Amino acid sequence: MKKLIMLTLIAAMVMFLSVSFAKAADANAPKAAPKAETVTIKGKIMVTKDAEGKITAVKLQSRKKGMYSITLNAMGKELGEKMGGKRVEVTGMEMTKDDEKWLTVEKYTEVIKPAEKPKEEPKK
């Protein structure tokens, strides 16, 4: 009987230790940094300002890739001030944070549509 009790206790200890080692990652542990990559995106710049006229948000709306929030560092603010409402091509670091796409601007240029050619009249 003593052997049976000892074997049961040993088995319980082994199971307890194996479960504690196989436990999932701690929920309070810091999350891995979001993966960032350099991209070039064309789209329209939309600027949000407060009552005093200070820029509070800059967004890039791309037809192909969707909406991007622009990081409001020096380049992001400059982009908003100079290119608000215009179509641009932006190169920068793209990352996703809290299911939202962010872009840290490295460089940008305004996209100017080429002038349309006049339609030729058909020859008679």
pLDDT at 56: 95
pLDDT in tens, the chain (124 residues): 777 787 777 777 777 666 555 555 555 555 655 677 899 999 999 999 999 999 999 999 999 999 999 999 999 999 999 999 999 999 999 999 888 999 999 999 999 877 655 666 666 5
Q: Look at residue 63 and tell me if it is in a domain.
A: yes
pLDDT at 18: 63
Q: Look at residue 65 and tell me if it is in a domain.
A: yes
CATH number at residue 72: 2.40.50.140
Q: Look at residue 12 and tell me if it is in a domain.
A: no
Q: Look at residue 80 and tell me if it is in a domain.
A: yes
Residues 6+ apart with CB under 8 A from 119: none
> In terms of Cα–Cα distance, which of 103, 86, 100, 83 is closest to 39?
103
pLDDT at 5: 80
**What phi, psi does 52 have (nearest 5°)?**
-90, 0
Q: Look at residue 121 and tell me if it is in a domain.
A: no
d(C-alpha 26, C-alpha 7), whole Å: 32
Q: Look at residue 89 and tell me if it is in a domain.
A: yes
Q: Look at residue 16 and tell me if it is in a domain.
A: no
**Domain interval for residue 92:** 37-110
Q: State the total domains in the chain.
A: 1
pLDDT at 72: 95
pLDDT at 47: 97
